[in-house]
């Protein structure tokens, strides 16, 4: 009987601790992908090549606001988002102000949401007051293929 109780307690403990390990698992696969940044702080971006990408395997984000390719790590749990300070700002460019606005905007981000409507799939990165700091459109994978 003691052996049965001990096994039961062991199974409960394993399930409990195993559940704790999975309870904090990121929700990032829906956030993953390549996104064309359309607006920052509700202002359209002049550079149509501005991008942000989230990789749920490495928990890294990559962004381009028209000058440097920047990157950092992120943590996502139930649509709450924490972005690290961006790295990769190494050169000064003519449009460095766009990059400063972009990297500064990322520091306010605390949540995300996906909107899927007739105009396509959009990513909104929001601040703590639910103000949309960045809006981007999903880039379809076939658009990334080289043209032959």
Q: Which 3 state secondary structure label does DSSP give 110? A: coil
CATH number, domain containing residue 72? 2.40.128.270
In a domain, 56, yes or no: yes
Q: What is the pLDDT of residue 30?
A: 77
Domain that holds residue 38: 28-140
Residue where the block lists tokens 């990059």: 99
In a domain, 136, yes or no: yes
Contact 54, 31 (CB under 8 A): yes
Contact 107, 92 (CB under 8 A): no
pTM of the prediction? 0.73
In a domain, 10, yes or no: no
Most confident region among 2-11, 24-33, 94-103, 127-136 by mean pLDDT? 127-136
In a domain, 15, yes or no: no
Cα–Cα dist 82/117, whole Å: 26
């Amino acid at each position: 009987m003691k052996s049965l109780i001990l096994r039961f307690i062991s199974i409960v403990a394993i399930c409990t601790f195993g559940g704790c390990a999975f309870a904090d698992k990121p929700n990032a696969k829906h956030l993953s992908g390549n996104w064309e940044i359309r607006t920052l702080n509700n202002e359209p971006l002049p550079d149509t090549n501005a991008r942000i990408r989230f990789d749920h395997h490495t928990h890294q984000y990559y962004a381009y606001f028209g000058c440097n390719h920047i990157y950092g790590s992120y943590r996502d749990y139930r649509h709450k988002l924490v972005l690290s300070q961006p790295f990769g700002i190494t050169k000064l460019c003519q449009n460095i102000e766009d990059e400063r606005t972009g990297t500064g905007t990322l520091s306010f981000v605390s949540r995300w949401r996906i909107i899927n409507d007739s105009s396509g799939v959009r990513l909104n990165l929001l601040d703590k007051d639910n103000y949309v700091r960045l809006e981007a459109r999903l880039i379809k994978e076939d658009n990334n293929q080289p043209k032959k």
